[in-house]
Amino acid sequence: MEYLATIGVLIAIYVILSSSYNLVIGYGGLSTVAHPIFFAIGAYTAGLLAIHSSLPAPCNVLLGGVAAMIASVLLAASALRVSGDYLLIASLGFQLGLLQLIKNLDFTGGPGGLTAIPGTVTGAARTPFFLVVSGLLAVATVVGIRAIVNGPYGRAITAMRDEELAFTALGRDATSMKIVIFAIGCGIAGIAGGVYAYYFQYISPDQFEVLQSAAILTMVVLGGMGTTFGPVVGAILLLAIPQAITFLNLPPGIMAPTQGIIFTVLVLAFLFLRPAGIVGLARKTL
Amino acid sequence: MTAVLRTEDLCKRFGGIVVSDSVNLTIDRGEILGLIGPNGAGKTSLFNLISGVLRPDSGSIYLNGEAIDAAALYRRARLGIARTWQNMLLFRTMTVLENLLIAPRSYPGESILRVAFTHRAVRTAERLARDRAMTTLARMGLEQTANDMVVDLPFGQQKLIGLARTLMNDGPVLLLDEPMAGVEGAAYETMQRVVREEAESGRAVCLVEHNVSFIRDLCSRAVFMANGKILRDGTVEELIASDALTELYFGV
């Protein structure tokens, strides 16, 4: 049970990550790979505050989100000023640079990571408690993003993605809008990071590498980019499938490669057969 | 008459190509000014300079007497310089009504903070914008297309939607880039009528057009451009009567 609940917490956190990433890349059309680094900024901020300050845990998680948001505005405001394409390169550089910094600083724990983050909640109720909290946050994220993209604001985002020049010439400030979308998406990732740090009580820089970018991107693409529930489906599938395979009781020598093969086949199959993703299929058959 | 829009010695060059060579242009309230000239004369570039898509190398632009040179593209639209595009640039994944709703000069529903904290104001603005959009569509006889995807409409109607979207901006200046290209039949009549009505309501209208009879029917004054220069400014009849210009433009 404990094991399944842990996977539940992980799924909730990845639903938050993939949904917020989808807001940025799917709805906003902003090419960035750096989503894990904002996850990391949230995790490290909350973790360090938990160790060194006496602020309550929810406050630290929220500050993690704020820190990620501020960092994202700094990145987007400088990169988008040049051009939209520049963001991809800038985000990659930002992620790699910041990870190097984390690995080489003392107070972040260096390459070994940040250990002994206080657990706040202890005892048997710990995992169920985190399951409920992260689950609620995941629902709030999905519902919140849905509300944003369905209203007048979402209409403006669509128009901006369709025809940015016409959008701007109608009196809309596309650059600020992109920065706002980026900041919201990255801020949410920061909050997810805070929850992650409190639950696992240990974070290391390896967890936020480019491989993680690929994992979150796969969730979004597989589920359906630019759809509300696509990233949710993608996150659940990509986390559940490897767990399901472990239940087959295969010898370890076969299991590890099997997981990799199934993953790769799945991604390739979707790219060729259903490029709009699982949820995207129903709506985007043009 | 007071000039609503005035350009002063507007210059712009791309390398060796001069697209605007000391252009001095005024458009008055209620006037429909025709901009004619051969391809590459700098007509669309002039629109791009006025609306803020391009920045001039030198020269100034005044709206109601105030310099707007520092204002970015989106700010000029909010100041009331509305324009259409030669290739329309409609929002292709959206319906006709949604296309129009993007275009009012100010729109509180597009600010996250206002959506969150002044919900009622957003709802009111949304209703007003919808009313205005439906009225504008009704003027063109297109109200029944409101919920159609723009890409599903015939070309002539798409052109009209491009104009309708721009008319959601109630500012003093209207720049129309080849409104008649590819438009015929009923859409042609509608286009002509609506442009005339807009001028009568007091807007300063400037249009780029190759259709000479459209210009002759609508414009009181016309400007002939070639190689980024204004060669002649006068009535349409004067311009058409000028042999030198006819030769340059029509090649006859």
| Chain A closest-CA separation from residue B222 CA (Å) | 25
Is 70 exceeded by the pLDDT of residue B251? no
Q: What is the model's pLDDT at position B125? A: 86
| The overall pTM is greater than 0.90 | no
Among B118, B146, B170, the domain boundary falls at B170
Counting residues of chain A whose pLDDT is more than 70, the rounded percentage is 97
B4 and B75 together in one domain? yes
- CB-based contact (8 Å) between B105 and chain A? yes
| Predicted pLDDT at A284 | 44
Residues 186-245 of A with CB under 8 A from B: none
Give the pair of three-digit tokens for residue A182: 């980026």
- Does one domain contain both B181 and B241? yes
Catalogue the long-range contacts made by A111-116 (C-beta closer than 8 Å, 24 or more residues apart). A111/A204, A111/A205, A112/A204, A113/A202, A113/A203, A113/A204, A113/A205, A113/A206, A114/A44, A114/A47, A114/A48, A114/A51, A114/A197, A114/A202, A114/A203, A114/A204, A115/A201, A115/A202, A116/A51, A116/A201, A116/A202
Residue B182's CATH number: 3.40.50.300
pLDDT of residue A283: 47
Instruction: Let me know whether B39 and B63 are in one domain.
Output: yes
Task: Please report where in the chains the tokens 């057969």 appear, as a residue.
Answer: A273
Say how many domains are in chain B: 2
Q: Give the number of other CB atoms < 10 A from CB of residue B243.
A: 8
Distance, in angstroms, between B104 CA and closest chain A CA? 8
Q: Chain A closest CA to B94's CA: distance in Å? A: 8
Cα–Cα distance, B175 to B33 (Å, whole number): 10
The answer on B180 and B162 residing in a single domain is: no
**A165–B89 C-beta distance less than 8 A:** yes
For residues B116 and B232, membership in a common domain is answered with no
Question: Which chain B residues are Cβ-neighbours of A286 within 8 angstroms?
Answer: none
| Residue B250 pLDDT grade (very low, low, confident, very high; cuts 50, 70, 90) | low
Task: Return the percentage of chain B with pLDDT > 70, whole number.
Answer: 95
Q: What is the pLDDT of residue A286?
A: 38
pLDDT score at B138: 96
* pLDDT for B76: 95
How large is the average pLDDT for residues A217-232? 90
Confidence band, pLDDT 50/70/90 cuts, at residue A285: very low
Residue in B59, B66, B76, B80 with CA at minimum distance from that of residue B7: B59
Residues A32-37: what's their mean pLDDT? Answer: 94
Instruction: Give me the mean pLDDT over the A86-101 stretch.
Output: 93
Could you report the per-residue pLDDT of B150-186, keeping only the tens digit for each? 999 999 999 999 999 999 999 999 999 999 888 888 8
CB pair distance less than 8 Å for B90 and A166: yes
Residues B25, B99: one domain?
no
Q: Assign A178 a pLDDT band (cuts: 50, 70, 90).
A: very high
Rounded average pLDDT over B77-99: 94
Statement: residue A84 has pLDDT above 70: no
What span, in angstroms and rounded, lies between the C-alpha atoms of B246 and B231? Answer: 12
Interface test with B, best of A81, A155, A177 (most B CBs within 10 A): A155
Q: Tell whether B12 and B115 lie within a shared domain.
A: no
> Residue B50: which domain range?
1-80+174-252
DSSP helix/strand/coil, B82: strand
Residue A236: what pLDDT? 93
Residue with the two structure tokens 């275009």: B103
Q: Which of B121, B145, B170 marks a domain boundary?
A: B170
Domain boundary at B136, B170, B204, which?
B170
- C-alpha B228/C-alpha A73 separation (Å) is 41
Complex ipTM, two decimals? Answer: 0.91
- What is the per-residue pLDDT across B172-228, written as a single tens digit (0 to 9) for each? 999 999 998 888 888 999 999 999 999 999 999 999 988 888 888 899 899 999 899
Q: B102 and B64 share a domain?
A: no
> In terms of domains, do B221 and B244 share one?
yes
**CB of A195 within 8 A of CB of A137?**
yes
Reduced to 3 states (helix: H, G, I; strand: E, B; else coil), residue A128 is helix
Q: What is the pLDDT of residues B6-62, one digit of tens each?
A: 999 999 999 889 999 999 999 999 999 999 888 889 999 999 999 999 999 999 999
Amino acid in position A145:
I
Shared-domain flag, residues B126 and B158 = yes
Domain shared by B43 and B23, yes or no: yes
In a shared domain, residues B112 and B225:
no
Average pLDDT, integer, range A224-231: 91
